[in-house]
A and B are shown apart, each in its own frame.
Chain A
Amino acid sequence: MIKDNFGIRKSDIINRRMFIIGAAKLIIFGGIIARLFSLQINDNKKYLTLSDKNRIREWKLPPTRGNIVDYFGNIIAGNLKIYQLHVIPEQVENFNYLISRLKVILQLSNTRVERIKKKKTQLKPWESLIISENLSWDEFSKINNYLYELAGVKPVMTISRDYPFNDIYTHVLGYVSQPNEDDILANEIIQEKFVPGIKVGKLGLEKTLENDLIGINDIQRYEVNAYGKRINQLEYQKGKQGSKIRITLDTEVQKLSAELMKGMAGSISVMDIYTGEIIAMYSSPSYNPNSFLFGISEDEWQLIRNNPLKPLINKTLSGLYSPGSTLKPIVALSALENGIMDTNFKVQCKGKMELHGQTFHCWKEKGHGWMSLNNAMKQSCDTYFYEIARKLGVDKLKVTADKFGLGKKVLGEYFENEKAGQFPDTRWKINEIGKGWVLGETLITGIGQGYTQTTPIQLCLMTAQIANGGYKIKPKILTDDNQLTSEQVKKAMKDNNLYNSHIPLFNDQKNIKIIQEAMFSSTNELRGTSYKSRIDDPKYQFAGKTGTAQVKRISKRERELDLKIFQIPYEERDHALYIAFGPYKNPRYALSIIVEHGGSGSSAAAPMATKLFKLIVDRHQYRKKLPDYKEFNI
């Protein structure tokens, strides 16, 4: 009985204490349910987002670049389907065996194989290893024949930049290649769109208009697991090709320029004298931009880099030359404008001129005799220009030269490597060289030698502004119908049709007419320096001025020897220059030609103008038919 009592008392205690705990249990279960409620009901959205962020990963694909077309819509920088060979390492059973097979099939070099093996170690096993960026069709079909035995090998079709005209547009367009660290750091848009395999502009318009050309990436959304491996594709978001860019150049004229300059160093620029549209802009020699797409080979690069004709320099914009006699129209114009002389003013040329004991030679040793402005321009008499330069003074000359665009960048908004050149005056010399101006320097400045440095495009602009009756124009390389985002380019486009505002560069338009006539004489009258290159048909007839720029001072001995051009070493030969506009009756185009070390302007440069004007005038018919053509009459 006693035992039983104990038992009852004990079970009372046990039961009582049990229920205390039971209550505690319910409270704790309630807490857990509250927690579940807070996570799953209250914060459900937050955790759903986090869960999606966990499992969904985006893969960007390289965007397709916008096409660049010439004035007539021909694609000059397009996109080409190419074949690539990728390997997915995790699908490969024996990587070394596979590589040795591929080595045989594609005839890969040992260094290539080493590079591929090194690259493999840097990749995750499910990431594509690019074996070949650009397979030829033969290689591609060969690989496809062996595919059954090459597990993990993936032939891929993708898109690459293509320059169908190879080297003729290189200095205008530049080229694209894989971005380096600087490219990525300098441009936020490249940063944002960067994916392995993307190509970005390295030079020229490809670089300047990068943000418009680059396009929008295609995006693949994949579900991934915790280790980042793709499980399945959820979405494919199509990107957008970059904007199409239309430029003002005419491929036919550009082609002819390249042909004319073949084997020579120099530049040809052609410009519409009213709209400022650049019709051709060719720097010779050029190089093939397609070589850079998949990384240029060391041999090819060395060949380009070490070429003595310097293909890497855009001579049209960055080549600095003494204008030589091509400056004479500006010198004469300045003299007329400042009332230093008139058309009746005459100077006697005896072949040389003495000043303060220094002798200044005319190119014609025997002298030209009595020269008027028209004659002096026609025969390019140096003595006449020494004399009017002396009377004019360099400071007044500089005012006129500045107005016509010498010493200033012409297309600086588009080409960061363009040079401004310089046109000296007395203040410039004190500031830059620290010495006072000497009168003798005025004389040689008057014939385009000395400190004056001009680019071919500046000479072309100068000629165009003389040809259009002396009105200011703004050269342009993009047509007005381009829709662009880049601020600097938009700013440049604002001044596009400057001719319409008729800002005169002259005091008296008669003076411009006189210069035009003098240039006409120089080309179309007997004894004119470019008489041999004239075209009599008024449809093509043009007016021009030759120039021969010395690259070194001619010594007394050399003057006496009177060497023929082939007797002089290449680097010491004169640069040949020619500026012209046409057709003379109703001018529309101006051009400048420079042949480095080509000898005299009349023999090396002027004959090119003949061929160019024939084509340019013929091409005008086609330009006229386009909707954005505008007629101008003086």
Chain B
Amino acid sequence: MFQHTRLNSDQNFFQKVKNLDYILLLSILILSTLSLFVMYSTDGGELLYHTKSHFIKLLVFFALMLLISFFNIKFWHLSSYFLYGIIILLLIWVSIYGIKVSGSQRWMNLYFLALQPSELMKIGIILCLAKYYHRVSVEKVNSFNSIFFALTIILIPIILVVSQPDLGTSILIASSGLIILWLGGVKIKYFFFSFITFLISLPFIISNLQPYQKLRILTFLDPDRDPLGAGYQIIQSKIAIGSGGFSGKGFLQGTQSYLDFLPEKHTDFIFTLFSEEFGFIGSIGLLLLYLIIIIRIIRIGVISRSSFAKLFCFGFAFSIFIYITVNLSMVLGLLPIVGSPLPIMSYGGSSMLATMIGFGIVLSAKVHSKQAIA
């Protein structure tokens, strides 16, 4: 009767270790190692700050991921709303006391890490909605109250993040949230009508965008409009990727990044550098690695017994996919520059922390895949 309140699993430590998904773990390890080499290249082939810092973060967060995976998936189910609430509080705190960098207030200084709560919210929203749709019955999914509640859960962090302002992250949070609504069974016609409404209201939204956001959209539509100004990043990124060719310029040989033509090469444009140095073959390899990770996460979702675990795994897999897609489309000039990091590869503690937490919960779901949650 009170089984669901018992957080200790009946598995012992070794059984848990045995139950981890080693293909997923290995993929994450390969990706982490790869990211270290690329970071080393962005530092100009020297062991400098970014590489060292990235290495330490990987070490700490990888350990954190393993730690999380040993907690029963029931624990994460139980604490979902709580974690969501904590992150909302952090977002509010940031909007008041946060550090302002180049016009937007997104960070809180934790001394060892400049934490960006909006990144954590990418996981928080999945946890929260997965719990909600785990609990709500199929019949009530499409009721007004249910949809209203779910949308409210999405809208609160969105408003906070948009006001930072950080359009890119808020879009990612929104899409992570909406995918749970989709998975949870919200009628297709609702999605369809919302999409139509969105299209109709698009001109209104655009007219309310910040000037720099409008500029990004215009620049995306025609990067050559202002090649030394707003279009510079897209153009230089395309030149770097295109000049990489089939097999790339070679490790540490990327002239575009080495000679500082690439903007933000540590963070959002890390794939550009990777693709310049390792070419088409390397890029396909990286995509395959991500694909393996996504498929393993989905597989864990499929074998999970509880809806919560399923929803989380599928939602998280989709989020990872969205992060990759948005980042790659951006650096390939298929989408406007919205500022979204490439999971694990990009330099940046908050994004890596959020991703590793996500992996940890997924691994927890794997370890405790037989666990039913009432």
Please tell me if the beta carbons of A47 and B241 are within 8 angstroms of each other in the complex. yes
**Measured between alpha carbons, how far is A55 from B249 in the docked complex, in Å?**
14
With known contacts A10-B185, A36-B332, A223-B259, A47–B239 Cβ distance under 8 A: yes
Q: Which residues from B are CB-within-8-Å of A28?
A: 321, 325
Interface presence of B115 (CB below 8 A): no
Please tell me if the beta carbons of B260 and A225 are within 8 angstroms of each other in the complex. yes
Please tell me if the beta carbons of B321 and A39 are within 8 angstroms of each other in the complex. no
Closest-CB distance, A485 to chain B (whole angstroms)? 39
Closest-CB distance, A378 to chain B (whole angstroms)? 83
**Measured between alpha carbons, how far is A18 from B185 in the docked complex, in Å?**
11
With known contacts A14-B307, A22-B298, A28-B325, A50–B280 Cβ distance under 8 A: no
With known contacts A10-B138, A10-B185, A32-B325, A226–B260 Cβ distance under 8 A: yes
**Measured between alpha carbons, how far is A10 from B306 in the docked complex, in Å?**
10
With known contacts A9-B138, A14-B307, A14-B311, A40–B239 Cβ distance under 8 A: no
Please tell me if the beta carbons of A25 and B321 are within 8 angstroms of each other in the complex. yes
Interface presence of A7 (CB below 8 A): yes
Q: Which residues from A are CB-within-8-Å of B298?
A: 18, 22
Please tell me if the beta carbons of B275 and A36 are within 8 angstroms of each other in the complex. yes
The residue on A at minimum CB distance from B260 is A226
Chain A binder among B16-24, B34-42, B148-156, B176-184: B176-184
Q: Which residues from B are CB-within-8-Å of A35?
A: 329, 332, 334
**Measured between alpha carbons, how far is A17 from B314 in the docked complex, in Å?**
10
Closest-CB distance, B285 to chain A (whole angstroms)? 11
Q: Which residues from A are CB-within-8-Å of B275?
A: 36, 40
**Secondary structure of the A contact surface, majority rule:** helix
Contact with A along B118-152 (1 / 0, CB 8 A): 00000000000000000001100000000000000
Interface presence of A44 (CB below 8 A): yes
Interface presence of B283 (CB below 8 A): yes
Interface presence of A566 (CB below 8 A): no
Q: Which residues from A are CB-within-8-Å of B334?
A: 31-32, 35
**Measured between alpha carbons, how far is A9 from B275 in the docked complex, in Å?**
44
With known contacts A18-B183, A21-B182, A55–B261 Cβ distance under 8 A: yes
Interface presence of B291 (CB below 8 A): yes
Please tell me if the beta carbons of B259 and A36 are within 8 angstroms of each other in the complex. no
Interface presence of A43 (CB below 8 A): yes
**Measured between alpha carbons, how far is A11 from B255 in the docked complex, in Å?**
50
Q: Which residues from B are CB-within-8-Å of A48?
A: 242-243, 245
Interface presence of B94 (CB below 8 A): no
Q: Which residues from A are CB-within-8-Å of B185?
A: 10, 13-14, 17
Please tell me if the beta carbons of B314 and A32 are within 8 angstroms of each other in the complex. no
**Interface Cβ pair total, 8 Å cutoff:** 126
Q: Which of A2-35 contact B (CB under 8 A)?
A: 3, 6-7, 9-11, 13-15, 17-18, 21-22, 25, 28-29, 31-33, 35
Interface presence of A41 (CB below 8 A): yes
Contact with A along B318-342 (1 / 0, CB 8 A): 1001000100110010100000000
**Measured between alpha carbons, how far is A6 from B141 in the docked complex, in Å?**
12
The residue on A at minimum CB distance from B248 is A40
Closest-CB distance, A179 to chain B (whole angstroms)? 30
Please tell me if the beta carbons of B241 and A226 are within 8 angstroms of each other in the complex. no
Question: Contact check: which of B236, B246, B302, B374 meets A44 at CB < 8 Å?
Answer: B246
Chain B's interface size range is 35 or more
The residue on B at minimum CB distance from A227 is B260
**Measured between alpha carbons, how far is A11 from B240 in the docked complex, in Å?**
45
Q: Which residues from B are CB-within-8-Å of A32?
A: 287, 325, 328-329, 332, 334
Interface presence of B244 (CB below 8 A): yes
Please tell me if the beta carbons of B239 and A50 are within 8 angstroms of each other in the complex. yes
Interface presence of B301 (CB below 8 A): yes
Interface presence of B116 (CB below 8 A): no
Please tell me if the beta carbons of B242 and A226 are within 8 angstroms of each other in the complex. no
Closest-CB distance, A364 to chain B (whole angstroms)? 85
Closest-CB distance, B116 to chain A (whole angstroms)? 26
Please tell me if the beta carbons of B242 and A47 are within 8 angstroms of each other in the complex. yes
Most buried by A among B179, B182, B183, B311: B183
Interface presence of B26 (CB below 8 A): no
Interface presence of B294 (CB below 8 A): yes
Most buried by A among B138, B184, B243, B284: B243
Interface presence of B310 (CB below 8 A): yes
Q: Which of B4-29 contact A (CB under 8 A)?
A: none
Closest-CB distance, A18 to chain B (whole angstroms)? 5
Q: Which residues from A are CB-within-8-Å of B287?
A: 29, 32-33
Please tell me if the beta carbons of B284 and A39 are within 8 angstroms of each other in the complex. no
Q: Which residues from A are CB-within-8-Å of B246?
A: 40-41, 44
**Measured between alpha carbons, how far is A48 from B276 in the docked complex, in Å?**
10
Interface presence of A301 (CB below 8 A): no
Q: Which residues from B are CB-within-8-Å of A43?
A: 242
Interface presence of A430 (CB below 8 A): no
**Measured between alpha carbons, how far is A283 from B95 in the docked complex, in Å?**
86
The residue on B at minimum CB distance from A18 is B314
Please tell me if the beta carbons of B239 and A54 are within 8 angstroms of each other in the complex. yes
Closest-CB distance, B308 to chain A (whole angstroms)? 10
Q: Which residues from A are CB-within-8-Å of B310?
A: 11, 14-15
**Measured between alpha carbons, how far is A6 from B307 in the docked complex, in Å?**
10
The residue on B at minimum CB distance from A56 is B255
Please tell me if the beta carbons of B184 and A14 are within 8 angstroms of each other in the complex. yes
The residue on A at minimum CB distance from B134 is A10
Interface presence of A51 (CB below 8 A): yes
Q: Which residues from B are CB-within-8-Å of A50?
A: 239, 242-243
Interface presence of B69 (CB below 8 A): no
**Measured between alpha carbons, how far is A223 from B259 in the docked complex, in Å?**
8
Interface presence of A46 (CB below 8 A): yes
Q: Which residues from A are CB-within-8-Å of B241?
A: 36, 39-40, 47
Please tell me if the beta carbons of B242 and A44 are within 8 angstroms of each other in the complex. yes
**Measured between alpha carbons, how far is A48 from B238 in the docked complex, in Å?**
11
Please tell me if the beta carbons of B255 and A14 are within 8 angstroms of each other in the complex. no
Interface presence of A224 (CB below 8 A): yes
**Measured between alpha carbons, how far is A13 from B246 in the docked complex, in Å?**
42
**Measured between alpha carbons, how far is A226 from B182 in the docked complex, in Å?**
46
Interface presence of A370 (CB below 8 A): no
Closest-CB distance, B345 to chain A (whole angstroms)? 15
Interface presence of A503 (CB below 8 A): no
Please tell me if the beta carbons of B256 and A41 are within 8 angstroms of each other in the complex. no
Closest-CB distance, B2 to chain A (whole angstroms)? 16
Q: Which residues from A are CB-within-8-Å of B184?
A: 13-14
**Measured between alpha carbons, how far is A562 from B245 in the docked complex, in Å?**
98
**Measured between alpha carbons, how far is A455 from B293 in the docked complex, in Å?**
95
18 pairs, A vs B, C-beta closer than 8 Å: A3-B374, A7-B307, A11-B307, A14-B185, A14-B314, A15-B310, A17-B183, A25-B318, A28-B321, A32-B329, A36-B275, A36-B280, A39-B238, A40-B244, A51-B242, A55-B255, A55-B256, A226-B259
Q: Which residues of A contact B (CB under 8 A)?
A: 3, 6-7, 9-11, 13-15, 17-18, 21-22, 25, 28-29, 31-33, 35-37, 39-41, 43-44, 46-48, 50-51, 54-55, 223-227, 231
Q: Which residues of B contact A (CB under 8 A)?
A: 137-138, 179, 182-185, 236, 238-246, 255-256, 259-261, 275, 279-280, 283-284, 287, 291, 294, 298, 301-302, 307, 310-311, 314, 318, 321, 325, 328-329, 332, 334, 374
Other than the known A28-B325, A47-B243, what 20 A-B pairs have Cβ atoms closer than 8 Å? A10-B307, A11-B307, A13-B185, A14-B185, A15-B310, A17-B183, A21-B179, A22-B298, A25-B294, A29-B287, A29-B291, A35-B329, A36-B280, A43-B242, A44-B246, A50-B242, A51-B243, A54-B256, A55-B256, A224-B259
